[in-house]
Amino acid sequence: MKKLSFFTILILLSAFQLNAQTLLLEENFDYPAGDTLTTHGWNLTGTSTFNSVVVASPGLTYPGYFSSGNAASLTTTGQDVNKAFLNSLTSGSVYAAALVKIVDAQATGDYFLHLGVSPTNSSSFFARTFVRLATNGNLSFGLSKTSINATNPVVWSDSVYTAGTTYLIVIKYTFNDGSTTDDEAALFINPALSGVQPAPDLTRVTTQTDAVELGVVNLRQGSTSSAPNLILDGIRVSTSWDQVIPVELTSFVADVNNNNVTLKWTTASETNNSGFEIQRSAVSGQNSEWEKIGFVKGSGNSTSNKNYSYTDNDLAAGKYSYRLKQIDYNGQFEYSNIAEVDVNAPMQFSLGQNYPNPFNPATTINFSIPETQFVTLKIFNVLGQELKTLVNGIKEAGVYKINFDASSLNSGLYFYKLEAGSFNAVKKMMLTK
């Protein structure tokens, strides 16, 4: 790369510091299946509009890598598209991570993912990522710095990858300032999600002309004789390794205990992790909206296992979905996979003893109903006079927790009565001030 003036370098370094903690691009294809990418912010590379790149459902998942939404379907002999970064780069390194599942590939092989200069440039492509069908029936991934020829061929990985499997790949392009022909491309395949950049699986340094700048990520559909059919998802572009792969979530499970659900998850590494927002959705005839029900603080930066848990208490009977919204300190966020549970209805009617008891001035009353009923829960004094109605309406099967504030009452013995259909029960409680 050409030497830059000191003034220009200062400007670029300032720009780098401004964006060092921000993703340059994130694409989870959270659009309706069947839509073309060009209707959602992607640009046409070149002029071909035949065989558009479309949204495919469902999206891809990979252990420890957050993704959401749908995916992109790439076939052959069709439209190529690109999407711009927040800002173009001319120094440092550019990382682009993505999930990819190869449906089928050809023996010749072709590239399907690369970096580009700008939305309107249709000829300068860098860090081209290939896949081909090997003689043993497996797949090999390949890499070139830019165009290929007899002098600058593709470098190929071992043929140990298989069709139908989701892989995490990361391409890296490094701007070196020794000359205009010394930049380096690298490819990582299923890298360890430890928070530390591992050695790449493939590297390519040639004497071909370097990129002057990089500002887009490109998806390509090559010829029928050489290109693959594949699904691609979860694109993240940044200037640092820890931003494209910020948190390694190794497990996320939900356990049911009566009408309580305990969520447990483990991370193997974290970078800039502010914490996890807990979200829940009740599943019925039609999915409800996701709602925030809690937040668990993260560990910031860590390279060791961290265990977390959160309990969602006193749920009505039904089916529930849970997910984590992992939030970085800079506001960037990703969603986890979804965990679903069934909370069964109680087997019988019951009225629990209030707690605490004696109390001052507030206490909690629990009751259970095994079926939908019109329910009343009322407070009485020792003379049998009704003082307060806590519940008066139809309740679905489930376990309920009702808070009672007796600030306006005098110390003494009181009764609470539950009526639900033909069931009724009375218990006493003591207010001590």
The verdict on 313 and 390 lying in the same domain is no
Neighbours of 6 (CB within 10 A): 7
Burial of 125 (0-12, 13-18, 19+ CB in 10 A): buried
Least confident residue range of 32-41, 90-99, 186-195, 399-408:
186-195
Same domain, 393 and 356: yes
pLDDT of 3 > 60? The answer is no
- How many domains are contained in the chain? 3
The CATH number of whichever domain residue 261 belongs to comes to: 2.60.40.10
Question: Domain end: 241, 261, 280, which one?
Answer: 241
**What is the distance between the alpha carbons of residues 218 and 21, in angstroms, rounded to a whole number?**
23
My answer on whether 31 and 118 are in the same domain is yes
Are 120 and 224 contained in the same domain?
Answer: yes
pTM recorded for the entire structure: 0.64
Q: Which stretches within 275-400 are classed as H helix?
A: none
pLDDT tens figures, 365-414? 999 999 999 999 999 999 999 999 999 999 988 888 899 999 999 999 99
User: Are 54 and 181 in the same domain?
Assistant: yes
- The two structure tokens encoding residue 210: 């370097």
Q: Would 18 be classed as within a structural domain?
A: no
End residue of a domain, out of 341, 373, 399: 341
Closest CA relative to residue 146, chosen from 92, 205, 95, 195? 205
Helix (H, G, I), strand (E, B) or coil at 359: strand
Residue 246 confidence (pLDDT): 66
Tally of CA atoms within 13 A in the half-sphere of 269 that contains its CB:
17
- pLDDT of 20 over the 70 cut: no
**Shared domain check, 198 and 101:** yes
Q: Looking at residue 228, what DSSP letter applies?
A: P
Specify the CATH number for the domain of residue 421: 2.60.40.1930
307, 341, 375: which is the final residue of a domain? 341
Whether 207 and 58 share a structural domain = yes
Which residue segment(s) compose the domain that 385 sits in?
A: 348-429
Q: Is residue 11 part of a domain?
A: no
